[in-house]
Structure 1
Amino acid sequence: MPTGVAIRDVREQLFDAADRILLRDGPSGLTSRAVTAEAGCAKGVLHKHFADFDAFLAEFVLDRADRMAPQAARLREQAGSGTVAGNVTDTLVAVFGSVAVAIVALVTFRDELRARLRDTWPAGVPVLTEAAKMLADYLAAERDLGRVAPGVDPGSLGAMLIGSAHLLFADRTGPPPDRDTVERGVLAVLDLVGGIGGRHPRGA
Structure 2
Amino acid sequence: MSPRRAAVLREGDRSLREHLVVTAERMISEQGAAGLTVRAIAREAGVADGVLYNHFADKEELLAEALRAYVASVERGLGELPEPGRGTVAANLRAHLEHGLAMHRAILPAFAGLAAQPKVLDRFAERGRPGEDWRDRLLDYLRAERDLGRLNPDAKVEAAAAMIVGVCHETVLTALLQGVARPMAAKDVDDLVAVILDGIGAGG
Secondary structure of the structure 2 residue equivalent to 1:134: helix
TM-score (normalised: structure 2): 0.65
| C-alpha distance in structure 2 between counterparts of 1:105 and 1:191, whole Å | 36
Q: Distance in 1 between matches of 2:157 and 2:34?
A: 36
Task: For residue 55 of structure 1, report the CA deviation from its aligned partner.
Answer: 1.8
In the TM superposition, what are the counterparts of 1:70-89 in structure 2 within 5 Å? 74-77=80-83, 79-82=85-88, 83-89=91-97
- Aligned partner of 2:14 in structure 1 is 5
For 2:97 and 2:137, the matched residues in 1 are separated by: 13
Q: 1:32 to 1:185 in 2, by over 3 A?
A: farther
- Work out which of the residue numbers 149, 153, 156 in structure 1 matches 2:156: 153
Q: CA deviation at 1:150?
A: 2.0
- 1:16 correspondence with 2:20: no
Q: Distance in 2 between matches of 1:102 and 1:185?
A: 30
TM-score when scaled to structure 1? 0.65
Kindly indicate whether residue 117 of structure 2 is the aligned counterpart of residue 110 of structure 1.
Answer: yes
Question: SS state of the match for residue 74, structure 1?
Answer: coil
| Cα distance in 1 between the residues matched to 2:92 and 2:62 | 37
Output the CA distance in 1 between the equivalents of 2:154 and 2:139: 14
CA distance in 1, matches of 2:74, 2:156: 22
Deviations along 1:61-109, whole A, 9 cap, x unmatched? 4445666896999325264225133222332233213316743862x33
Tell me the distance in 1 between the aligned counterparts of 2:112 and 2:187. 22
d(CA) in 1 for partners of 2:142 and 2:77?
15
Q: What SS does the corresponding residue of 2:155 show, helix, strand or coil? A: coil
* Cα pair distance change 1:182/1:60, threshold 3 Å: farther
CA RMSD of aligned residues (A): 4.1
Deviation at 1:51, TM superposition (A): 3.4
Any idea what the Cα deviations from partners look like across 1:17-49, whole Å, max 9, x if unmatched? 113222xxxx54333345456x57456265564
Q: Flag the structure with more relative contact order, 1 or 2, with Cα contacts below 8 A and sequence separation at least 6.
A: 1
Using the aligned pairs only, state the percent identity.
Answer: 22
Structure 1 residues 166 and 182, CA gap change in structure 2 (3 angstroms): farther
Superposed CA offset, 1:161-201 (max 9, x none): 1012210233142134145266146326515634279xxxx
> Which deviations, in whole Å up to 9, do the C-alpha atoms of 1:133-166 show, x marking residues without a partner?
1111111222234332222132332122101221
Correspondence for 1:186 among 177, 192, 198:
192
Is the contact between residue 190 and residue 196 of structure 1 (CA under 8 Å) also seen in structure 2? no
Letter in 2 for 1:146: G
Relative to 1, partners in 2 of residues 1:6 and 1:116: Cα closer, same or farther, differing over 3 Å?
Answer: closer
Change (3 A) 1:153 1:184: same
Q: In structure 1, what is the Cα distance between the partners aligned to 2:113 and 2:23?
A: 22
Partner of 2:58: 52
Conserved in 2, the CA contact under 8 Å of 1:88 and 1:186? Answer: no
Q: Aligned pair in 2 of structure 1 residues 34, 153: CA closer, same or farther (>3 Å)? A: farther
